[in-house]
Structure 1
Amino acid sequence: MPTFFSDTAAKGLDPGTATAYWGYTDSIASLFVLLLSPILGAIADASGSKKIFLRFFTYMGAISCLLMFTIGAGNWLWASLLICIGTIAFSGGNVFYDAFLTDIAPPEKRDYVSSVGYSYGYIGGGILLAAHLYFILNAETFGVTTTTATQISLASVGVWWFLFAIPLFRNVPEKKIATEKRSAWQWTRIGFQDVRHTLSKITKYPELIKFLIAFWFFNDGINTIIKMATIYGKEIGIGTTHLITALLLTQFIGFPSTLLFGKIAEKVGSKVTLFITLFTYLILVCIGYYMQSAMHFYILAGLVGLVQGGSQAISRSIFSRMVPVYHNTEFFGFFSLTGKCASILGPFVFALVGQLSGSSRLGILSLVFFFVVGIILLFRVNIPKGEKEALDDEEPIINV
């Protein structure tokens, strides 16, 4: 999508403006998710309905992808709207998807299980992306233009998203809690009450708060690299074929690397493993600043594949061990909210610095700040103490 946005949807705009609009689009989408996530999590906790909400966001995301077939030359506003809807669906759905981790894995296995989940995601995404790359590069053989092939590829994501959600909906169990039947409005009111209740007692979990703040900073840098790297590469003149091939490289390196980091975490601990990934990201930022050629982009993509899944999986696992048991999904809503806060500021700063300075290189250099602050704050997190704080919580959800 970033290359299609730059080449087709933003046709008529200069490359720097297209890059900035892409960054602003991601920030706006993340703002909506920020507002929704904690409330949705609270409602799901109160009503015992994680799977229902996950199903809704899956359908929403699949439809948004199918509609991307209609994006034509110069339709950057329509493209931005569909990207926003798809991002809201993906991020909103992940609130409930991530919350299943505590249902299906004991604490001592969550580093590995979380890593397996991300690694399979790389395999699935890699297979589909490989098919897309072959289709787009051989579009004339299939009797279509490159633009049409790209539109079909984007739409196929919606089909893929829907089909591979079916096994989860059919087979993954959800822990049920005793609830009374209530209207949607009543569940919403309860959701707001639970969020207010959580905010009033969140100071009981100081280690969790410290981790969330650290996560906010370093995840800001990670999200910005994920969202902006391709369109940044396009802006500095790297060809579309190289960009898509490098993304494919990221997917297939990500599969074994994520599993590897899951095993490393079991041996040396989650915190040390997370530090390894974050220091690697600092190296990535420096490569991005000096990037000139396709080879540089391949190196950057390879390093991203090496640490991206590991950093995300280990962060999710650490958080799951410090979550109070009776507010699982709600706190994962706050986890998603923290990530979305990062998704708002990072791409916005990248876009704004690039637009004001006339150079997106300075935009990527600004990410050093987020990683350095995140690493410093992570040093101060005491994970065993955070686990004890979560286990000491025995206060049930308020259903009134």
Structure 2
Amino acid sequence: MSTGIADLGPVRRRAEQRAWNWYDWANSAFYATTLTVLFGPLMITVAGRAAGCTDLDDTCKRTVDVLGLHLAAGSLPSYLTSFATILSAFILPIVGAMVDRSGRKKMHMAWFAWSGSFFAALLFFLRGEQWQLGAVAVVVSSILGGCSLVSYYAIMVDISEEHERDAVSSRGWAFGYVGGGLLLLVNLGMVLGHDALGMDKELAVRLSLLSAALWWAGFTIIPVVRLRDYPAREGAPAPGGLLGRSFGQLFRTLKELPSYPMTMTFLIAYLFYNDGIQTVIYSASIYGSKQLHLGESVLIAAILLIQFVAFGGALLFGRVAARYGAYRCIIWGCVGWMAIVVLAAFLPDRNVALFMVAGIAIAIVMGGTQALSRSFYSLFIPRGREGEYFALYNAAERGTSWFGTLVFGLTFQLTGSYRWAIVAIVIFFLLGLFFLLRLDPRRGVEDAGNRVPAVI
């Protein structure tokens, strides 16, 4: 009796992987347009009006009342982002445990995404002196976005084998950079050309925020339609309701984590070097404007350049990892980050060309290290625990992502120079590299019960 002449598994997986990539395309618009570029300045303007500020920029020191706390209007976006990330650190592990137990990763991703995009759309009403709704909306949408990524990352393990993950993750990141960059290009064009379009600047910004929410919600439909749910891989479910089982699984994971020392070592390494990456992204515009005295148009061009060049960086690192392994690529990525940060400290004032060269270098290593970190870590996750362990991955990132910005700010306060502040970020890449070099990748994959790829 014939059993078939070809293994169609790779073909089916490739089709699902292409569908999976669309969620990177969908959610990146929210992170690029809303969280990275447009929300902060608009919130400062609206909260500043409510506080009675006349100079509506980040120097506004007057305060608004937030749950009894008097917070400077100019600092409100930073406080809201910090609050959302810290709260996420507590919520995401519970969500991850629930995702694994339910066996409905696709639908969890979808409902978190659509709920998050709904709250993101409410930012359209951030106007006049009405900052409160916007504050709630950005916190809730940020948390829900993180919840959707827990499911999204876990799906990668279902639709790819170990040796495929570097390429799959790299294509996803690359696709996300293009999607986020395209909408950001349109939105920045609308904001900068608002007079020609017959609208004021704030309306252009609010419409851009709304477009990011609609983009997120609309393109999420593609993976929802084309992906399929996979059953939970663990054995018989524990007694009790879904939420109760999820808490129990979380506590068990935290207790068992030391039994996977390589997984824990990589998480610690990732905490440090990813914090360095996030701090560079956060501080680049500050450094360019305050230290190098570059204009707004140059900074906007740099943001778009980084977004699109990172597309190539992700794909490049994916190809190199296929030959030399993700582990070596991440190590050399950290070395590259250190070199870029040190050289950036010596950039001359008002030199646009060299600033753009630095932006290209940042984009190449940023796309590569972020994409490969996701796929590399997936190899260290025990089967059936993907949602939970990726929740720890995201929670660790979010719960500590303020360390780098704190060091950056304190160094500037002590030295009065952003050049020293940017150099101080090197310590995070050094610490990440220290723990990476203590890692035994083969042992980590074997301890988790996964197949060791031919090249790791």
TM-score, structure 1 as length reference: 0.88
Alignment match of 1:142 (pick from 182, 197, 204)? 197
CA distance in 1, matches of 2:287, 2:129: 19
Residue 261 of structure 2 aligns to which amino acid in structure 1? P
TM-fit CA distance, 1:41: 0.6
Q: Report the alpha carbon displacement of residue 195 of structure 1 after superposing the two structures with TM.
A: 1.0
Question: Is the 1:218–1:370 Cα contact (8 Å) retained in structure 2?
Answer: yes
Change in CA separation of 1:70 and 1:352 when aligned onto 2, cut-off 3 Å: farther
2:125 corresponds in structure 1 to 70
1:262 aligns with 2:318: yes
Residue 174 of structure 1: CA displacement? 2.2
Q: Select 1:246's aligned residue among 271, 278, 302.
A: 302
Q: Which moved more, 1:263-272 or 1:295-304?
A: 295-304
Other structure's SS at 2:195 match: helix
Whole-angstrom CA distance in 1 between matches of 2:137 and 2:423: 29
2:206 counterpart residue number: 151
Deviations 1:82-120 (A, max 9, x none): 432332122221111111111111100100111000001
Residue 358 of structure 1 and its aligned partner are, at CA, apart by 5.5
Counterparts of 1:12-161 in structure 2, within 5 Å, are: 12=53, 15=58, 21-72=76-127, 79-161=134-216
| Residue 383 of structure 1 pairs with residue 441 of structure 2 | yes
What SS is found at the alignment partner of 1:140?
coil
Residue 331, structure 1, aligned to residue 389, structure 2: yes
**2 CA distance for matches of 1:349 and 1:302?**
25
Q: Within 2, Cα distance between the matches of 1:255 and 1:56?
A: 27
1:10 to 26, 44, 51: 44
Identify the structure with bigger relative contact order (alpha carbons < 8 Å, sequence gap 6+). Answer: 1
- Kindly indicate whether the alpha-carbon contact (under 8 Å) linking 2:101 and 2:237 is maintained by their aligned counterparts in 1: no
- Relative to 1, partners in 2 of residues 1:233 and 1:20: Cα closer, same or farther, differing over 3 Å? farther
* Gap runs ≥5 in structure 1: 394-400
Find the counterpart in structure 1 of residue 404 from structure 2: 346
Letter in 2 for 1:118: W
Cα-to-partner distance string for 1:195-224 (whole Å, 9 max, x where unaligned): 111122222211111111111111111122
Which AA in structure 2 matches 1:293?
R
Deviation at 1:65, TM superposition (A): 2.6
**Residue 353 and residue 54 in structure 1: after superposition, are their counterparts in 2 closer, same or farther (change >3 A)?**
farther
| Number of residue pairs aligned between Structure 1 and Structure 2 | 392
Deviations 1:228-266 (A, max 9, x none): 433554555533322222111112111122111001001
- The CA deviation at 1:78 is 5.7
> Which stretch of structure 1 is more off in the superposition, 14-23 or 110-119?
14-23
Tell me how far apart the structure 2 counterparts of residues 65 and 290 of structure 1 sit (CA, whole Å).
39
Secondary structure at the counterpart of residue 429 of structure 2: helix
Distance change in 2, residues 1:44/1:149 (3 Å): same
1:22 offset after TM fit, Å? 4.3
Letter in 1 for 2:44: A
Equivalent of 2:229 in 169, 174, 177: 174
Aligned-pair CA distance for 1:56: 2.6
In the alignment, which of 432, 446, 451 is matched to residue 374 of structure 1?
Answer: 432
* Closer/same/farther in 2, CA of residues 310 and 74 from structure 1, 3 Å limit: farther
Native 8 Å contact 1:19 1:232 kept in 2: no
Change (3 A) 1:74 1:383: farther
Classify the secondary structure of the residue corresponding to 1:105.
coil
Is 2:354 the partner of 1:301?
A: no
TM-superposition CA deviations, 1:171-212 (whole Å, max 9, x none) = 1122113899999x8211100100111122222211111111
Matched position secondary structure for 1:165? helix
> Aligned equivalents of 1:5 and 1:99: distance in 2?
29
Q: Which one is further off, 55-64 or 208-217?
A: 55-64
Letter in 2 for 1:306: I
User: Is the alpha carbon distance of 1:304 and 1:26 closer, same or farther for their aligned partners in structure 2, counting shifts above 3 Å?
Assistant: farther
- 2: distance between equivalents of 1:290 and 1:150? 34
Distance in 1 (CA, whole Å) between partners of 2:356 and 2:254 is 44
SS of equivalent to 1:391? coil
The SS at the match of 2:231 is: coil
Task: Provide the aligned C-alpha RMSD in A.
Answer: 2.9
CA drift at 1:392: 7.4
Superposed CA offset, 1:343-365 (max 9, x none): 23233443455467665555433
| Residues 20 and 201 of structure 1: CA distance in aligned 2, closer, same or farther (over 3 Å) | same
Change (3 A) 1:368 1:49: same
Amino acid at match of 2:332: I
| Rounded Cα–Cα distance in structure 2 between residues aligned with 1:30 and 1:347 | 13
Q: Which moved more, 1:157-166 or 1:58-67?
A: 58-67
Taking a change above 3 Å as real, the CA distance of residues 100 and 6 of structure 1, as seen in their structure-2 partners, is closer
* In structure 2, C-alpha distance between the alignment counterparts of 1:81 and 1:299, rounded to whole Å: 38
Shifted more, 60-69 versus 2-11: the winner is 2-11
List gaps (5 residues or longer) in structure 2.
1-33, 46-52, 62-72, 452-456
> Structure 1 residues 148, 14: closer, same or farther in 2, change over 3 A?
closer
